[in-house]
Amino acid sequence: MTRPRATVLEAVHKHPHADTKTIYRAVRAVLPEVSRQTVYDVLQALSDAGLVRRIQPAGTAVRYEARVGDNHHHFVCRTCGVITDVDCVVGSAPCLTAPGDNGFVVDEAEVTYWGSCPDCSAAQVSRPGSRSQSDSTTPGRKDRRVQQ
């Protein structure tokens, strides 16, 4: 494995659910000569090889994670954008069964749970006049913070 590929893979491991900008900055800290295009190309190659997983919750930037080989899902905070993993509730992939398969052979189901993370929920409760969770913004309306 080339040094840029190993460094990008290490950055994805260190920064779960990071966007390409965050991964690029982490790689540049180790390899200052690496180009943005190289990082994009390496992320694509690692994704194609099944070494990283590319995710993109509705209304957010593409993110990458090193947790592959299972069919887990994600929680996304509408307020700060933090993303955390959710294990399958029952069984193995795809963890959900469609009521009718329409001839498809299903091997993966993608589920995203939206709401408020513990920190944002606590902050909303502690603020006088804060909005209820039902008033929260729709996905993609705010800039998203990347979990580091």
pLDDT in tens, the chain (148 residues): 899 999 999 999 999 999 999 999 999 999 999 999 999 999 999 999 999 999 998 888 999 999 998 878 899 999 998 999 988 766 565 666 677 778 888 777 788 899 999 999 998 877 766 554 444 444 443 334 444 3
According to the CATH classification, is domain 3-64 in 1.10.10.10? yes
For the chain, which residues make up each domain, given as ranges? 3-64, 67-135
The fold of 67-135 is Dna Ligase; domain 1 (3.30.1490)
**Cα–Cα dist 122/97, whole Å:** 35
pTM of the model: 0.73
Report the pLDDT value the prediction gives residue 109, as an integer from 0 to 100: 77
| CB-CB contact of 46 with 55 (8 Å) | no
